[in-house]
Amino acid sequence: MIRVRQVKVKLGDEASLDKKVASKLGIRVSDILDMNINRQSLDARKSDIYYVYEVDVKVDNEKRILNKSKSSDILLAPREEYQYPIMGDEKLDDRIVIVGSGPAGLFCSYMLAEQGYRPLVIERGEAVDERMESVSKFWNGGELNPNSNVQFGEGGAGTFSDGKLNTMVKDKRFLGKKVFSIFVDHGAPREIMYLQKPHIGTDLLCNIVKNIRNDIIRMGGEFRFSTCLTDIKVENGKLVGIEVNHNEVIPCSVLVLALGHSARDTFSMLYDRGVSMLGKPFAVGVRIQHPQEMIQLNQYKRLDKRLPVADYKLTYQTKNGRGVYSFCMCPGGYVVNSSSEKGGTVVNGMSYHDRGSDNANSALVVTVGPDDFGHHPLDGIVFQRRLEKLAYQAGHGKMPIQLYKDFKEGKKSSSLGKVQPLMKGQIEFANLHSVLPDFVVSSLLEAMPVFGKRIHGFDRDDAIFAGVESRTSSPVRILRDENGVSNILGIYPCGEGSGYAGGITTAAMDGIKVSELICRKYHN
């Protein structure tokens, strides 16, 4: 096939793409036998807005067209296919066990099942349908289920998010493309294969993860929900088994730790059993809400329903060198209560596929590291818990919110402005100064006017802060060597919770990488 780059199509005229491609190639539209979009981005820098495409085209006489063309935008389409490794020759004594059914665990399991390994997946939370019911009850004032909530359960924390799939990592082996193709095969829109900023949305993710699970079972895998890893059994530095739910031992010589970043009790148990880990930097702060219409006007200078729902990304370095940045921006979304421990309150953001709500929200966070919370591997967890407990107390068990105007003055809000909160879960006015460390407060206050210059209205008085955003990434890294193995033979740390990913796509990619390392060593 021939790859054609930099094909510009005016907004609203997307149906003319084939004509634009044919014109660039110097052929008739009828000469195009097949055409696939490889990439689509939006150019909104000028008054006329364009989609810019990269497409792969099948035509007769490809060599003649390539030889004739003098454009650097017309070239032979490169082969961009993911290749799975050849199996190793070491025999497995028992089934591979994967802890966690978030993106890392799910994709690791899928690849292993596809190769005939019949993995066993254990998940402390519920299957996605039951999990949805538990989360909905909690958001509507019911009791928190500590084992099945926004953080824990089938699909992982990413299920209740915007479902963003963009990643900044270099991907010469096309792992990301493999991840996207598996998503599409199980119900995701095909557009994620080519959009510049692909996303799925919570409403679609729920069915997609269920479809992937059913396919893994069809290929010989097994899932056990409401099943928590409570201990590991080690002999002579090698894993020989695991304990689940404090009452059952499962023989196991290969264990994939695809933990979520909130599996604090599991981190503590693993540390006590001698698994090597380090504390790592992360970020804490608040969720901020604005009208989505304000973001649209800032990004596009117009309101046009044909345009995608606009997002943003903001970064700032304070005078003392601390980073402040937006994170997990959810256009047309909701702020959600994503707590996982009783007596603690955590917020996050989510969007449905259509990103159709009236508000934009984003985490607005400040970097923290061991110098802030301590150098013991688990000190970051202690730090997070302290903030979450303060947030719970400030909001009396509900999500504490505060207008930016009142945050500047350090006082509890008493009424809303024009921005109306769109939240999943109950809310209460509070003073977030009582929740956040002083250096986080001062960093946010320094950054907000700068962000207001980049996005007009970002620092408006009635922007709504909600607290506390404390689970931006894992506070620990479980160490692994070049073969993916921890200091205890047979244990493979994997994904975001283990400190090797930062979102749905990178976690899924790491799950595939770990499956490869297991495959290279063992045969099924």
Report the side by side order of strands in the sheet with 74-76: 32-43, 50-59, 2-10, 74-76
Mean pLDDT, rounded, for 53-57: 96
- What does residue 448 show for φ and ψ, rounded to 5 degrees? -55, -45
- pLDDT band with cut points at 50, 70 and 90 for residue 71: very high
Distances (CA, A) of 513 to 102, 163, 477, 492: 15, 21, 17, 11
For the stretch 372-397, pLDDT in tens is 999 999 999 999 999 999 999 999 99
Q: Over pLDDT 70: what percentage of the chain?
A: 100
Instruction: Decide if pLDDT at 168 tops 80.
Output: no
| Alpha carbon of residue 104 to chain centroid | 11
pLDDT at residue 171 in the model: 85
For the stretch 94-144, pLDDT in tens is 999 999 999 999 999 999 999 999 999 999 999 999 999 999 999 999 999
* Rounded Cα distance, 160 and 262, in Å: 14
Pairing of strands 74-76, 2-10: antiparallel
Instruction: Decide if pLDDT at 46 tops 90.
Output: no
pLDDT at residue 161 in the model: 85
Distances (CA, A) of 211 to 15, 135, 177, 183: 32, 20, 19, 9
* Rounded Cα distance, 225 and 101, in Å: 9
Give 142's contacts (C-beta < 8 A, 6+ positions apart).
none
* Rounded Cα distance, 10 and 4, in Å: 17
* Rounded Cα distance, 346 and 393, in Å: 12
For the stretch 238-247, pLDDT in tens is 999 999 999 9
For the stretch 312-347, pLDDT in tens is 999 999 999 999 999 999 999 999 999 999 999 999
Mind listing the domains of the chain with CATH numbers? 2-76 (3.30.70.2700), 90-278+477-523 (3.50.50.60), 281-469 (no CATH)
* Rounded Cα distance, 270 and 499, in Å: 14
For the stretch 185-207, pLDDT in tens is 999 999 999 998 999 999 999 99
Could you give the dihedral angle defined by the CA atoms of residues 194, 308, 329 and 407, in that order, rounded to the nearest 10 degrees? Answer: 170
Rounded CA Rg of the chain: 24
Instruction: Decide if pLDDT at 225 tops 80.
Output: yes
Instruction: Decide if pLDDT at 175 tops 90.
Output: yes
Where would I find the beta strands (DSSP E) of 258-358? 277-279, 282-291, 315-317, 323-330, 334-337, 347-350
Instruction: Decide if pLDDT at 293 tops 90.
Output: yes
Average pLDDT along the chain: 96
Q: Over pLDDT 90: what percentage of the chain?
A: 93
pLDDT at residue 376 in the model: 97
